Amino acid sequence: MILQPATQSNSTGSPIGARSLVLEASRQPTAALLPHLGQLSHVTRSLTAWSPRFRNAGGPGGTDVDSPRGQARGKPCREPRESSIAERVRGASGIFLGGGDQVHLITTLSGTLVGEAIRDAFVAGAVVCGTSAGAAALTETTLAGGEVDEDGNEVEMYIGPGLGLLCFGALIDTHFAQRRRLHRLFVAIAGYPQLLGLGIDEDTGLVVHGSIGEVVGKGGVTFVDGRDTVRFDNASTVTKGGELTLSHLRVGLVGTGQRFDLEARELEALLPNGRESGIGNRESGATGTGTRETGPVALGRDRRDPSPGGSG
Of 217, 211, 196, whose CA–CA distance to 300 is shortest?
A: 217
pLDDT confidence tier of residue 11, bands split at 50, 70 and 90: very low
Could you give the CA distance from residue 97 to residue 197 in angstroms, rounded to a whole number? Answer: 21
Q: 3-state DSSP: the chain helix, strand, coil percent, rounded to 5? A: 25, 25, 50
Domains of the chain, residue spans:
2-299
Q: Collapsing DSSP states into helix, strand and coil, what is residue 260?
A: strand
Tell me the β-bridge partners of 160. 142
Question: 106 pLDDT band (50/70/90 cuts)?
Answer: very high
Q: What fold characterizes domain 2-299?
A: Rossmann fold (3.40.50)
- The 10s digit of each residue's pLDDT in 39-93 is 555 666 777 777 776 666 654 445 566 776 655 444 544 556 789 889 989 998 8
Q: What is the pTM of this model?
A: 0.76
Question: 18-39 pLDDT, tens per residue?
Answer: 344 444 544 556 666 666 555 5
Residue 62: which of 23, 104, 108 has the closest Cα?
23
Q: How many other β-carbons are positioned within 10 Å of the β-carbon of residue 149?
A: 10
Residues taking part in catalysis: 132, 150, 175
Dihedral angle of Cα 174, 177, 181, 187, to the nearest 10 degrees? 100
pLDDT at 247 over 50: yes
Report the mean per-residue pLDDT for the chain. Answer: 75
Say how far apart CA 38 and CA 10 lie, in whole Å.
Answer: 35
